[in-house]
């Protein structure tokens, strides 16, 4: 059995598949009876993800590796194709972070976030295109964030990496268009999500961390990512806060600086003291951590998903309308004089 949308079960690759959004993405693809290569470092989490995929009617191959190791990732991609056939969709989801003021972050920590979050995405794209371009088909999904457009305090390494992914994606998409390639790409910009990373992140602040602003469940992100994989649309924004953040920074970056300087640090901390236990930065934390973090009581189960082009077009109309209105007022005032 497989989804009637496709002639055969699709082969999917998901990085960062052992927990959080990656785990939810795997379940979503499993519902179409896909064959899924699950990539992450945590073997226990990957095995739990495999069981979930199989329970939902899919097939899964567990590949425990560090996404920052290109050779290991490339070998894993070959093994997935040997087992399941040509890769149809590659989801670049893996990430990590350090929460703290830049002055308190060691350069080895910053480097590690960059290698995993940014270079891991670059390596994933390279592995996918190496196999998709000769066939002239396939889809690559880049899991982004509103923070790819707007940096916030305590997240210099992560925001820097997400900005870098956005720039890389712009260049890559342009090159594929230049080559008239049929390989599809899209980027899904996410809001704050209730994932396990807030229990696992290296934390250098006094309180336990939380996502900034309105929080959404991982399934909201997963549904948007799986739907986006079937398109060649440039990008999608998930959740109203992502739209507000991206547009706010586009039109009022100075005001965003002021607002975030006053709310950004406290807004990423709960009222509970930090535990500063084992974190996932350099080594996986043992155990199956699942998809959800500690914020089920406040996380939203649904949210808007809109094309970036639609948001930009509406914003342009608002700006254009405001200019026309202002011009009319000035003209009327001059005529009356």
Question: What angle, rounded to 10 degrees, do the helices at 308-336 and 240-251 form?
Answer: 50
Residue with tokens 């586009």: 250
Three-state SS string over 148-194 comes to HCCCCCCCHHHHHHHHHHHHHHHHHHHHHHHCCCCCEEEEEEECEEC
Q: Which residues are catalytic?
A: 158
Are 217 and 301 in contact, with CB atoms under 8 Å apart? yes
- Taking the CA atoms of 285, 291, 296 and 302 in sequence, report the sign of the dihedral they define: positive
- Please choose, from the candidates 178, 169, 175, 92, the residue with its C-alpha nearest in 3D space to the C-alpha of residue 127: 92
Residue with tokens 């979930």: 52
Question: What angle, rounded to 10 degrees, do the helices at 20-30 and 218-228 form?
Answer: 50
């Amino acid at each position: 059995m497989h989804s009637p949308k496709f002639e055969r079960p699709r082969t999917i690759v998901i990085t960062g598949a052992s927990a959080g959004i990656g785990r939810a993405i795997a379940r979503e693809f499993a519902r179409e009876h896909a064959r899924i290569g699950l990539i992450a470092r945590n073997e226990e989490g990957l095995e739990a993800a495999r069981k979930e995929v199989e329970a939902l009617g899919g097939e899964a191959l567990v590949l425990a590796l560090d996404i920052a190791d290109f050779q290991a990732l490339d070998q894993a991609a070959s093994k997935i194709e040997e087992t399941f056939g040509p890769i149809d969709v590659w989801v670049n989801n893996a990430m990590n972070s350090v929460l703290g003021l830049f002055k308190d972050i060691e350069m080895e920590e910053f480097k590690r976030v960059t290698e995993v979050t940014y270079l891991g995405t670059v390596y994933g794209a390279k592995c996918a295109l190496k196999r998709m371009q000769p066939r002239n088909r396939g889809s690559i999904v880049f899991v982004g964030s509103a923070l790819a457009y707007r940096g916030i305090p305590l997240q210099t390494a992560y925001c820097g990496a997400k900005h870098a992914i956005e720039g890389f994606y712009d260049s890559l998409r342009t090159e594929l268009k230049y080559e008239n390639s049929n390989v599809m790409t899209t980027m899904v910009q996410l809001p704050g999500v209730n994932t396990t990373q807030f229990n696992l992140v290296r934390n250098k602040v006094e309180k336990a961390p939380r996502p900034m602003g309105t929080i959404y469940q991982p399934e909201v992100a997963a549904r948007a990512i799986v739907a986006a994989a079937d398109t060649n649309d440039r990008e999608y924004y998930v959740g109203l806060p992502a739209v507000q953040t991206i547009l706010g920074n586009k039109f009022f970056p100075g005001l965003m600086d002021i607002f975030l300087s006053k709310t950004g640090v406290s807004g990423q901390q709960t009222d509970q003291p930090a535990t500063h236990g084992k974190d996932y930065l350099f080594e996986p934390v043992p155990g199956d951590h699942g998809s959800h973090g500690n914020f089920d009581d406040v996380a939203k189960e649904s949210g808007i998903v809109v094309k970036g082009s639609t948001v930009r077009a509406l914003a342009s109309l608002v700006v254009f309308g405001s200019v026309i209105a202002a011009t009319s007022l000035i003209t009327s005032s001059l005529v009356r004089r």
